[in-house]
Chains A and B, each alone.
Chain A
C-alpha cells in the first residue's frame, strides 16, 4: 500500500472545499452550466442518461480495505447501493445527486480517495498491472513510477487543458495486463545492459473512432528521466494537437499524421531542453516514493499446504482455483482474481454489501489490500495458499466465486445505452445473455481463454477493437445493430480485430457468438490451441463463412 503524506491529504481536502463552493454557486445560479461543466468534469462528474455519474479514481488499481468500505458507504448513502468498476481502474456511481456530491467527496477524502484525473481534457488516472508488486518475474513494482507520474501530473497547469484527455499505463511484466499498447503513452519497465531501471516508451495508442496500436518512440529512457520525457511528449502534443476537431484531437491522430519518426524528433528536440532540469528525478525522490509502498510481512509457508491438497478433491473448488488463482512472487502465497462477471450480471458491478464483505475478506486473507484490474475484476494480491479453500467458500456465499476468469463469460462491457448519454446501443444486456449462453463451466473451460469485449458506441469504452471477439453496438434506422470483429487482443501482442461482415440485430448477437465458438471448436487442431491461435492460423474467413452462411 502507498501511504499518503500531509501534502497529499491537504491537497485532497482543499479540493473538496473548493468543489463544495463551486456546487453551491452552481445551485444558486451564480455559475451557469457552461461555466460549471469544466469544473464538475475535473471532479469526475458527468451527466448521463438518468442522472449525474460520479467517477472515482483508484490510482494504479490499489485499494486499502478502509477505502473499499468508503466506496461501499458512498454507494449506500448517496447512490443506489452499487458501483461499477471500469476498464481504467476507476469506479463509477450512476445515480449521484449534485447537491450531495461534496459530502460524498468529503467522505472519500477521509480515506485518501478523490476524483481528480477521472475526466476532462487532462491527464487521467495512471493505470498499471493489478498484480503489481506481487507478480513473479516483475522488473520492479510499477506503482512506484505510477505514483511519481500521478503526483507530477495532478493539477499540473500545463496538463490541465490538453487538446483532449490523456491516458498513461505502466507494466513491469513480460505479460502485459495493463493494456499499455492502447494508451496515449504506454510504459514498459525494463533494465538496460548496466542493470539500470528505465522504460520502453510507446506512444499514440488508443481505440475509439480511429483505433491505433501504440508505437515505440524510444527503446530506453532512464528512470530518472521519465518525467522530463513524458513532459516533452505532452509539450509536443499540447503544441500541435488539434483543438478544432474533437475526433482528431487525441495524440494518436497527431502521431499518425506526423509519422512516428517526425513525432519522435520533435519530442527529442523538446526533451533536450528540459531533461537536465528540475524534472530529473534524484535517487532520493524515487527512494522516498518507494519507501511509501509497504509490503506485507509474509510468512514462510509451504508451496503445497495440506489445506490445498485436501480441497483439490472438490471439483467446484478446483474449477475456481484453476481460473482464479495465479502464482505469487512469494512461496506459499497466491494472487486471487475475483470475478465481477456472475452469470446474468452486469460486468464490473459490485453491491455495497459485496464491497464491505470483500474488505472484510481482504483484512482476513490479503493483508488488507485489494486490487482493481482493467478487465473489470478485483484481486486479492496476498492470499496464503492454505487460506484458499476458506476464501473460496466465503466468496461463493457472496456470489463472487464465478470460476470464469479469462473465459468466454469474463466479458468487458461499457455501460452502454442503459446508462451512457453517448451510447447508441445497449452493451450490458448482450453481456448478460452471453453469460447465460455459456454458463456451463465445463463448456467454458473446453473453449478456454477467450475474451469478449462489448462497446455501445464507437467511443469504444468496452475496448471492442481489442477483444478476441469484439462487439460494437451502433444505431441504424432507429434500431440497435452490432458489428462483430475477431482477432483483437490487448496484451503485449496487441492487435485490432477484423470486422467479419454486416452488423446483426440485438437478438442475433449471442447466436453469432455461438456460431463463432462452434466454428473454432471444429477448426482447432488440438484442445490446447486457443481461439486466438486458430484465428491467427486460419484468418477470419472460416468464421465469416460460418456466421453468414445462414444469415
Chain B
C-alpha cells in the first residue's frame, strides 16, 4: 500500500501499471500501451521490470493535462490473464469504497 508520495525510487517486484487521476474530473485512470488513459484496468499497459516502469511513468508524467499524480502500482495477473489490483489501496481505487455510500444518485 505504497503512497505515491513515498514512491521515490522505482523498484518493482512484479507486474505493475501506471495509474493516476484524470485531470478534469478526477476519476481513476490507467496508462495504456496506446499512450493514452483508460478507466479500465484491463486496458492498462503492464510493465514487468524497473526500466519499463520508469519509461511508462515518464511518459505518463509528461501528459500533465490528461491526468495528475501518476505512480506505479502493483497488479496481479490471474491464470485467465485477468488483471487485478495488487493491494487493498488499489482495489479500493478500482472498485470504490468498501462501506457503501449513504446516498446513490
Chain A residues proximal to chain B, CB less than 8 Å: 26-29, 32-33, 47, 49-52, 75-76, 80-82, 95-99, 345-346, 349-353, 417-419, 421-422, 424, 426, 428-429, 432, 475, 478, 480
**Cα–Cα, bound, A82→B103 (Å):** 6
A96 touches B26 (CB 8 A): yes
B99 touches A432 (CB 8 A): yes
B99 touches A418 (CB 8 A): yes
**Cα–Cα, bound, A79→B98 (Å):** 18
Q: A49-B89, A81-B101, A98-B26 are in contact. List 16 more A-B contacts (CB 8 A).
A: A32-B64, A33-B69, A50-B96, A51-B27, A52-B21, A52-B25, A52-B26, A76-B105, A81-B105, A82-B101, A98-B23, A353-B103, A417-B1, A417-B92, A419-B97, A478-B87
14 contacts between A and B (CB under 8 A): A27-B24, A50-B96, A51-B27, A52-B21, A80-B101, A81-B104, A95-B26, A98-B25, A349-B102, A351-B103, A417-B92, A421-B4, A424-B3, A475-B1
B21 touches A51 (CB 8 A): yes
Cβ-neighbour of A97 out of B25, B101, B103 (below 8 A): B25
A50 touches B3 (CB 8 A): no
Residues of chain A with a CB closer than 8 A to B65's CB? 27-29
Report how many A-B pairs have Cβ atoms within 8 Å: 94
B26 touches A51 (CB 8 A): yes
Residues of chain B with a CB closer than 8 A to A353's CB? 103
**Cα–Cα, bound, A80→B28 (Å):** 16
**Cα–Cα, bound, A346→B98 (Å):** 11
B23 to nearest A CB, angstroms? Answer: 7
Does B44 have its Cβ within 8 Å of any Cβ on chain A? no
Residue of B nearest to A422 (CB): B3
In this complex, how many residues of chain B approach chain A with their Cβ under 8 Å: the count is 29
Residues of chain B with a CB closer than 8 A to A51's CB? 21, 25-27
**Cα–Cα, bound, A349→B104 (Å):** 13
**Cα–Cα, bound, A95→B68 (Å):** 16
Does B35 have its Cβ within 8 Å of any Cβ on chain A? no
A418 touches B24 (CB 8 A): no
Chain B 9-47, CB-CB to A under 8 Å as 1, else 0, gives 000000000000101111110000000000000000000
B24 touches A478 (CB 8 A): no
Residue of A nearest to B86 (CB): A478
Residues of chain A with a CB closer than 8 A to B89's CB? 49, 417
Does B48 have its Cβ within 8 Å of any Cβ on chain A? no
Residue of B nearest to A37 (CB): B68
**Cα–Cα, bound, A47→B105 (Å):** 22
B102 touches A346 (CB 8 A): yes
A351 touches B26 (CB 8 A): no
Residues of chain A with a CB closer than 8 A to B24's CB? 27, 97-99
**Cα–Cα, bound, A26→B25 (Å):** 12
Residues of chain A with a CB closer than 8 A to B25's CB? 51-52, 97-99
Residues of chain A with a CB closer than 8 A to B23's CB? 26-27, 33, 98
**Cα–Cα, bound, A49→B4 (Å):** 11
**Cα–Cα, bound, A424→B87 (Å):** 11
A47 touches B68 (CB 8 A): yes
- Looking at B28, B87, B92, B104, which has the most chain A CB atoms within 10 Å of its CB? B92
Also in contact, A80 and B105, with CB within 8 A (given A49-B93, A418-B99): yes
**Cα–Cα, bound, A347→B5 (Å):** 27
Counting from the closest, the 10 A-B pairs by CB-CB distance are: A81-B103, A51-B26, A97-B25, A52-B26, A418-B97, A81-B105, A351-B103, A29-B65, A82-B102, A82-B103
Residue of B nearest to A421 (CB): B3
A1 to nearest B CB, angstroms? Answer: 28
B64 touches A50 (CB 8 A): no
B88 touches A350 (CB 8 A): no
Residues of chain A with a CB closer than 8 A to B101's CB? 80-82
Cβ-neighbour of A47 out of B1, B26, B64 (below 8 A): B26
B66 to nearest A CB, angstroms? Answer: 9
**Cα–Cα, bound, A27→B105 (Å):** 26
B68 to nearest A CB, angstroms? Answer: 5
Residue of B nearest to A427 (CB): B99
Residues of chain B with a CB closer than 8 A to A421's CB? 3-4
**Cα–Cα, bound, A52→B69 (Å):** 12
**Cα–Cα, bound, A27→B4 (Å):** 23
Which of chain B's residues 48-89 have a Cβ closer than 8 Å to chain A? Answer: 64-65, 68-69, 87-89
B44 to nearest A CB, angstroms? Answer: 17
B102 touches A345 (CB 8 A): yes
A81 touches B99 (CB 8 A): no
**Cα–Cα, bound, A81→B104 (Å):** 7
Residue of A nearest to B65 (CB): A29
Also in contact, A480 and B99, with CB within 8 A (given A97-B26, A475-B1): no
A487 to nearest B CB, angstroms? Answer: 29
B21 touches A47 (CB 8 A): yes
Residues of chain A with a CB closer than 8 A to B28's CB? 49-50
B26 touches A33 (CB 8 A): no
B4 to nearest A CB, angstroms? Answer: 7
**Cα–Cα, bound, A299→B99 (Å):** 45
Residues of chain B with a CB closer than 8 A to A480's CB? 88
Residue of B nearest to A29 (CB): B65
Residues of chain A with a CB closer than 8 A to B87's CB? 478
**Cα–Cα, bound, A351→B105 (Å):** 11
Residues of chain A with a CB closer than 8 A to B27's CB? 50-51
**Cα–Cα, bound, A287→B94 (Å):** 54
Residue of B nearest to A479 (CB): B88
Residues of chain A with a CB closer than 8 A to B21's CB? 47, 51-52
Residues of chain A with a CB closer than 8 A to B96's CB? 50
**Cα–Cα, bound, A417→B87 (Å):** 12
**Cα–Cα, bound, A424→B5 (Å):** 12
**Cα–Cα, bound, A428→B101 (Å):** 11
Residues of chain B with a CB closer than 8 A to A32's CB? 64
